[in-house]
Each structure stands twice: as structure tokens, then as C-alpha cells.
Amino acid sequence: MGEIATSNRQITLFYSSKSVRAKQTLAYAKAEGLPIQEIDILKTKLTGTQIVELSDRLHLAVSDLVNQEHPSYTSNFEPHNFSTEDWIKMIQHHPEIMKQPIALRGDKTILIETPTDIIKI
């Protein structure tokens, strides 16, 4: 069992409060009456274990959780092959570069591309 608690009764949503897509997803989920546990990654620092667990649940490498087109990434980092530990530290120090929102419910985890994706979980 991982460090992130999940339930079939509610959706855990990891998101950035500065993200338009995340705000739209939250509004859509609430309008649909879905039970949501909100985790704003800008306010709640993710542990390395949680970052690895999210990437594993999404079947992605930790590096694939990083939005390398985000302005914060392009202004702070050069394109480079980093180790998994380096990617984790980058996400922890600059959470805004993490791809999100990520929704979890029970054993299911999805990276939300459009706000209506929340109903797929």
C-alpha cells in the first residue's frame, strides 16, 4: 500500500490553484456533486514518495510528470537528462511545473486533460 490514501467513495485531486484547467475541473466536479478531497500542490508540499507513487499510478516516469513547457521550467532549467531524484527535487521546489490535475479514486488514477475527464474516474 502506498503513502497516498485512496477511497472508492471520494476522488482525491492533486492540482495547482493557479491552473485554469484545475479550477474548471474542480468547478465541474462540484457541479456534478462528486465528493472531492482537494490537495493544492502549491500549498501542500508533496513528499518524494508521493511523487513517485503518483508517477507509478499513472504508469509514467517521474520526468514525464514535469511540464517542460511551463514558463517556470523554461526560465529555471535547461533541457537535460536528470536522475529521478533530481526530477523529484525539481517538483518539490517548483510544484507549479508538475503536470496536473491528477485524480485518484480507489485503484484508478488519471491525468486530467480536459475538465470533463473527472467523470471518467
Q: What is the mean pLDDT of the chain?
A: 94
Q: Which residues contact 46 (CB under 8 A, 6 or more apart)?
A: 14, 54, 91, 92, 95, 98
pLDDT at position 5 is 84
Domain 11-120 has CATH 3.40.190.10: no
Segment 65-74 shows an average pLDDT of 93
**Residue 29 pLDDT more than 90?**
yes
| pTM for this model (two decimals) | 0.93
Please state, in angstroms and rounded to a whole number, the distance separating the CA atoms of residues 52 and 65.
10
H or E, element range at 53: helix 48-57
Q: How confident is the model at residue 47 (pLDDT cuts 50, 70, 90)?
A: very high
Where do the structural domains in the chain lie, given as residue ranges? 11-120
**Residue 1 pLDDT more than 60?**
no
Segment 3-18 shows an average pLDDT of 93
Segment 17-25 shows an average pLDDT of 96
pLDDT at position 79 is 77
Q: How far, in Å, are 15, 36, 92, 112 from residue 45 at the CA level? A: 12, 19, 7, 20
All cell numbers assigned to 59: 504508469
pLDDT by residue (tens digit) across 100-119?
A: 999 999 999 999 999 999 99
DSSP 105: E
